Structure formats: C-alpha cells, structure tokens
Structure 1
Amino acid sequence: MIQANPTISDLTLAATPNAVSWARRHTVDILRRWQLSSEIVETARLLVSELTTNAVRHTNPASTVAPPAPGKVGTISLRLRLTGSSVLIMVSDCDPRPPSRRVADDNATCGRGLLLAEAMASRWGYYHPAGHGGKVVWAEVPLQRSLSSASSCL
C-alpha cells in the first residue's frame, strides 16, 4: 500500500528552554522530508526558533530566571502545515495575552522575535482557539519567492 507523505506535523513539548532546540530540529527534519528547499527550511527554522522562544517565555515567565517547580511545567505545541503555496508554522502556548512588538535597543539580547517574523514571513498573526485558554501565533513561509522580491536582488 502506498501512503502519501503527511502534510501536517504536530509536536508538543515541555515549555522549557531546551524546547526551542527540539522544535528547530523537528522543523528541519520534517521540512527536509517534505523536500523543501534549503532556503525555506532555514527561514522556517529561524521563525520556529523565535516563536517557540516567545511561547516558552509566556508559558513559564519565571523559567528564564529559575527552573520551574517540579510538576509545574506547562507545554507548548508546534504545528507545521504544508499547503499548496506555503509552509504554515503555528505555535501555541497557554498565555491568552496577544503578542506585542517591543522596541529593542542595539545591545538587547531579546525583543526582536516579532520584528523577525514580520521580515521573514509573508504573513503572520495570532488567534485564540476555542476552549484552549491560550493563543496560537502563526507565520507563513511561501514556497516560492514573489517576483518583486526576486527582482530586488538583481
């Protein structure tokens, strides 16, 4: 029996700092399995890194200072979905507050995630899924560059 490659991948992770590296590895593995170009894989990897970092921070705000108490670790979820024209990246956390852009000075080590999402994704946004209590932040990576962006590189 021949099975088509699935075009959706879901991953649930403990909302700990190492979740970011696992989410990146998973993204690279899945997108390579889907035979996407290295440029798309790298863009998606960076977006996943930023979105999962934000999700971990918002799920366990104290986790950046001290490890969470045993049994008190929340979870985040990563969904990758291949559509006919793009890869959709969706990261969910339990914090219902909407994402907000921050202004980071040149020396800041964080605060640029949504700015990077705006720059690298064709579109991004968030929504509150019914019965979830948190939010999903999503970003879309087109499978082909638009002619206007391709010509601007010439």
Structure 2
Amino acid sequence: MTTVYVDGSCLNNGLPNASAGVGIYFGPGDPRNFSGKVYGNLQSSSRAELDAVRRALAVTVSNKDSYPVVSPVTIKTDSQYAIDSLTNPDVGKATNVPNLDIINDFRRQYQGCGFTVYLAHVSGHADNPGNNAAHNLAIQGARS
C-alpha cells in the first residue's frame, strides 16, 4: 500500500490577509514531500485541506514511473470536511458549493489514475508523526 499524509493550514483564516498552504508527506527524506502555497485569491483552511488531498493524488500519479504505486493509495488527512466533500457524490450537484473547482479536479484525477484511492481520517494534533510532518509542511507553505 502507498500511504501519504496531507494537511492544510491557513494563517489569519477568515481575514482579508489570510494565507493558506498545503503539506504532503510520504515519509522521511522522500523527494515527493511537498510544502506550498494555495494558489488564487481564495485563501482558507477548508480550501487548503482539499487542495492538499488533490495535490497528493496529482504527485502520486505524476511520479508513478519513478515511484511505483502500490495500490491502494491511502491519503491520510485530519480533515473530515475534505473526506466528506470529496467522497459524497451529492456534493457538487449544486453550483454554490465552496471549493467546487478543487472537488471536481480531484474527482477527474481519481477517475483516470488507474489505481484505488482511499481517504482515511487521522486525529489531528495527536502526536502522529506523519500527520505532524504534513502539518509542519502546510504551515511552511502558508508562510511562503
């Protein structure tokens, strides 16, 4: 099984000067580990959490020749919101769903990825090394 931890972070969440980032953690020293800023004007913790999951799948797919995927791929997140938004087929049927662009992009990637993907919830701030590493990367991304 391929496992990746993800997290999103937003400094000043809900304020005009909010800055959101994502963290993706495959393991110690893994070159696929990633810290980056959420693109665009919409900066929120919810958007960062979704973007982290979407980017983790994209990184897994784009690197599958160098890092063979052992199916299933399990993306672990502390965001139940992200899991519910990405797995509930009813989300997205209305046009006023927040972050619908990221949700739809994830679903398109998933349909064409060629392997099984599970989204698994982990408790945040519970001293889980993978979740802690993803969290630290997300904070770095929000600060960048």
Q: What is the TM-score with the length of structure 2 in the denominator? A: 0.31
Of structures 1 and 2, the one scoring higher in RCO (CA 8 A, sep 6+) is 2
